[in-house]
Amino acid sequence: MVTMSPTTDPGIRIRTSVREAEPKPAVAATAIEMKDVTLSYGDNQVLHGITMDIADRQVTAFIGPSGCGKSTLLRCINRMNDLIDNVTTGGHIRVKGTDVAAPGTDVIEIRRRIGMVFQKSNPFPKSIYENVVYGLRIAGIRDRHVLDEACERSLKGAALWEEVKDRLPESGLSLSGGQQQRLCIARAIAIEPEIVLMDEPCSALDPIATVKIEELIYTLKEKYTIVIVTHNLQQAARVSDRTAFFWLGRLVEYGPTPDMFTKPGEKLTEDYITGRFG
Amino acid sequence: MSGLKQFFRRGDPFIWLTGSALGTCLLLIGGLIVVILVNGLGYFWPRPLVKATLTDGTAVLGELAAREAIPDPGTPNHLKKHRVQIKVGNRELTGADFRWLRDDEITALENPPEAVSVERREYGAFFGFPKVLKDGDTELASGFGLLAALGPRLAQAARDRDEIRRLEKGDIGEINRQLELVRLDLRGLDLRKDDPDVAERRRELTEKAARAEELYKQKQAELQTVYERAARGAVVFTAVDGQEKELRLLDVYRVYPTNALGRFQRARIYFGRLWGFMMDDPREANTEGGIFPAIFGTVMMVMIMSIAVVPFGVIAALYLREYAREGVMLRVVRIAVNNLAGVPSIVYGVFGLGFFVYFVGGSIDRIFYPERLPTPTYGTGGILWASMTLALLTVPVVIVAAEEALAAVPRSMREASVAVGATKFQTILRVVLPAAAPGILTGMILAMARGAGEVAPLMITGVVKLAPELPLDGVFPFFHLERKFMHLGFHVYDVGFQSPNVEAAKPMVYMTTIFLLLIIILLNLTAILVRNHLRKKYRTSAF
């Protein structure tokens, strides 16, 4: 069961504010529709027919024990699993109407519409500026003015502008861990995606940096649909509107976050969130 | 007993074993370098001249070269008596550069202060006493005092030499080149008879040739004047045995009374000779003079090789690492690439000769230089083909290093690039290659070190004992990649084992080796500095 410490914890503030701003989950439009998604690495099937809808401009959290397939499912959405040899997939994933999983889909186009933030911050060994505008550059944008504007907008969006605005030519690797992760978020939103996928974005960060990222997620959902994979149940409770619990490659339970944590429908979910396994 | 067991269990003997293995390696390398330095660096130091008076009344003048015990096995005198080796010089008078003298033959040893060493164009060193300085038939000075007057005259002679060289190689060389071009154009006209403009063009060319011929006569006359003026100055020396030797000032490079010089003056001569060794052309079948063309050829060859081998190796490594599907085939290819590094270099030389020189070069000649045939242009050994052969020889090293560097680029960095919509090609170009650059440079350093020291394949693909022209000069098109070139490694072999006067040339071998090592170190240092800079820039890389 999620237990919150008294009011000094900044996480509380976020959670309560999430609750306050939440009387609309039922009316949200659907951003991603998944139907019977399966995936195997060679003979090893890791996703067994996942069917779920992810709401537009909300934060959806994927939770579950290690190896339950939540990251794999996340990477199906922007076809990152293509980079791995020997993967076979099945089912349909529709992102605002486009079938992402279909073989003929333009993968590059899909990835431009879906930004991604990784578990370990992975800025390029380039300047802060070049890190942010990387996606624009490879899309062929050369206009300095457009790039400058996108850089500022994205860094502001990632709540990093004030800290780095005077040192844009410095290496992205000169930033602290938390700043690097926000730089990666800025890089992901610089291409103006519709959806931002986050694969355990805080697992390598200290508590203070984690709080900053969580605050950022809360503001980002104004503009983007966010799917976040997390091992940290308290984080899922704090930042997400809806939570999906996976176990052994199956979707066990999926619903509004407060319901999931206070009155889970499945025994398995309850066992997991109360820490009986996982 | 248990103490000994403990000793073995702790691994102390193993530490000793590993430590001594490393120590032996260092000792061997250090010893090699010390031997080379000791034997090479002393060569240019002006050594005192000794005059030995012998029991038969004759005298010998020269530099003391060695002293050893006389082996006389079976008698009580075995290794009891000693003999000295004296470098007597004056090859054209005495017939040999060195002479062995037994200690009991020598009645007196002295250092005559008036004896001088002479460095000259032919016949190696001359040792003797100055007699007369002449200009034509007039005597300007005589005796030891002539040295004071000789200094400025020698400086003038050096300027005259430069002037003659400029006229011969520069002006007259240029005219000859133009005459050759005209001749080739005329031959080219012969090859296409059906062209209507041929007659007109032929007339133009003939006129041009006539003009060049005229200019040639002018320059030849100019050269003759300079030459006659310069050739008048001469200096006469007396050898220790009383023979006289007259040398034209044009042929004399340096004269100094070694025994009368102080330490500082000797140091000046030392550095002057060292500088000359580095910057001059070789003389006397490479046993005298400098090694500049060999230094130049070595550096240029290594650079051309690097320019060829790095892109080629990196592109091959990119395919192996990024595009090829893992499997048996790929493993076989990797093993084959690794084994290529073990093929004897002379085999690469033979391949280079057959493929680059005869096939590629021959084809280029047939297509682009038909008028020069049967004289080959690219169809014979040259710096380009030698560099290409070495590039082939070193490409496995670059492929292996580049593959490792590419593999060390973290997966997370590639994913970050792909996730914002980059294609694989864009990711490789913008993220993977820059991050792998330091590791790729490591491969280049290894390739350069291997390539710069290689001699065997060069001997059949373009290295020569003496190249009249550098492969890079001021004449259009500046880079003459078809030219043959000199190489320090080959120079060591040539001077040390193919020269007519091995004993006298031995120090040159050491000095050439020093320069070869220095150049390899310098080239590597440059590459290492570049690599460190890149490493700082792309800090995440494991290399």
pLDDT per position as a tens digit, B238-276: 888 888 888 888 888 888 888 888 889 999 999 998 998
Q: Are B248 and B231 in contact (CB under 8 A)?
A: yes
- Domain spans of chain A? 29-273
Distance, in Å, from the CA atom of A217 to the CA atom of A221, rounded to the nearest integer, reads 6
pLDDT score at B347: 93
Average of per-residue pLDDT across B415-428: 89
Q: Which residues of B touch A115 (CB under 8 A)?
A: 419-420
User: In this structure, what are the phi and psi dihedrals at residue A61, rounded to the nearest 5 degrees?
Assistant: -105, 135
Among B17-21, B281-285, B404-408, the range scoring the smallest mean pLDDT is B281-285
Distance from CA of A81 to the nearest CA of B (A): 10
Q: Are the beta carbons of B415 and A80 separated by less than 8 Å?
A: yes
pLDDT score at B249: 86
pLDDT score at A175: 87
pLDDT score at B1: 59
Q: Is B413 on the interface with A (CB under 8 A)?
A: yes
Segments in A30-143 forming alpha helices (H): 70-77, 107-113, 128-138
CATH 1.20.1050 fits B40-129+238-269, yes or no: no
The ipTM of this complex is 0.81
- Residue among B416, B426, B538 whose CB faces A118 most closely: B416
Q: Are the beta carbons of A125 and B326 separated by less than 8 Å?
A: no
Is it the case that residue B82 has pLDDT exceeding 50?
A: yes
Average of per-residue pLDDT across B32-40: 90
Average of per-residue pLDDT across B332-343: 88
Q: Are the beta carbons of B540 and A115 separated by less than 8 Å?
A: no
Read off the amino acid at residue A107: V
Q: Are the beta carbons of B416 and A120 separated by less than 8 Å?
A: no
Q: Are the beta carbons of B415 and A124 separated by less than 8 Å?
A: no
Q: Are the beta carbons of A125 and B430 separated by less than 8 Å?
A: no
Average pLDDT, chain B: 86
Q: Which residues of B touch A124 (CB under 8 A)?
A: 413, 416-417, 431
Q: Are the beta carbons of A112 and B412 separated by less than 8 Å?
A: no
Query: pLDDT band for position B133 (50/70/90)?
Result: confident
Please tell me which residue of chain A has the smallest CA distance to B434. Answer: A125
User: In this structure, what are the phi and psi dihedrals at residue A92, rounded to the nearest 5 degrees?
Assistant: -125, 140
Q: Is B230 on the interface with A (CB under 8 A)?
A: no
pLDDT score at B222: 85
Distance, in Å, from the CA atom of B73 to the CA atom of B91, rounded to the nearest integer, reads 33
Q: Which residues pair with B334 in a beta bridge?
A: none
Q: Which residues of B touch A83 (CB under 8 A)?
A: 414-415, 418
Q: Which residues of A touch B430 (CB under 8 A)?
A: 134, 137-138
Is it the case that residue B448 has pLDDT exceeding 50?
A: yes
- Residue among A122, A171, A173 whose CB faces B416 most closely: A122
pLDDT score at B543: 33
Please tell me which residue of chain A has the smallest CA distance to B424. Answer: A83
Is it the case that residue A23 has pLDDT exceeding 50?
A: no
Q: What is the DSSP string of B81-146?
A: SEEEEEE---HHHHS-SEEEEEGGGEEEEE--TT-EEEEESSSS-EEEEEEEEEETTEEEEESTTH
CATH number of A29-273: 3.40.50.300
Domain B292-537 CATH (choose: 1.10.3720.10, 1.10.340.70, 3.40.50.800, 1.20.58.1910): 1.10.3720.10
Q: Which residues pair with B63 in a beta bridge?
A: B49, B87
Q: Is B423 on the interface with A (CB under 8 A)?
A: yes
Query: What is the per-residue pLDDT across B213-244, written as a single tens digit (0 to 9) for each?
Result: 888 888 888 888 888 888 888 888 888 888 88
Q: Are the beta carbons of A188 and B410 separated by less than 8 Å?
A: no
Q: Which residues lie closer than 8 Å to B48 by C-beta, 6 or more apart? A: B63, B64, B111, B258, B259
Q: Which residues of A touch B326 (CB under 8 A)?
A: 85
pLDDT score at B464: 86
pLDDT score at A8: 40
- Residue among B412, B421, B430 whose CB faces A122 most closely: B412
Rounded alpha-carbon distances, angstroms, from residue B28 to B34, B132, B458: 10, 52, 28
Q: Are the beta carbons of A191 and B419 separated by less than 8 Å?
A: no
Q: Is B56 on the interface with A (CB under 8 A)?
A: no
Secondary-structure percent of chain A, ordered helix, strand, coil, rounded to 5: 40, 25, 35
Distance, in Å, from the CA atom of B475 to the CA atom of B483, rounded to the nearest integer, reads 13
Q: What's the per-residue H, E or C state across B345-379?
A: HHHHHHHHHHHHHHHHHHHHHHHHCHHHCCCCCCC
Query: pLDDT band for position A18 (50/70/90)?
Result: very low
Q: How far apart are the first and last CA of chain A?
A: 14
Is it the case that residue A1 has pLDDT exceeding 80?
A: no
User: In this structure, what are the phi and psi dihedrals at residue A93, rounded to the nearest 5 degrees?
Assistant: -130, 120
Is it the case that residue B458 has pLDDT exceeding 60?
A: yes
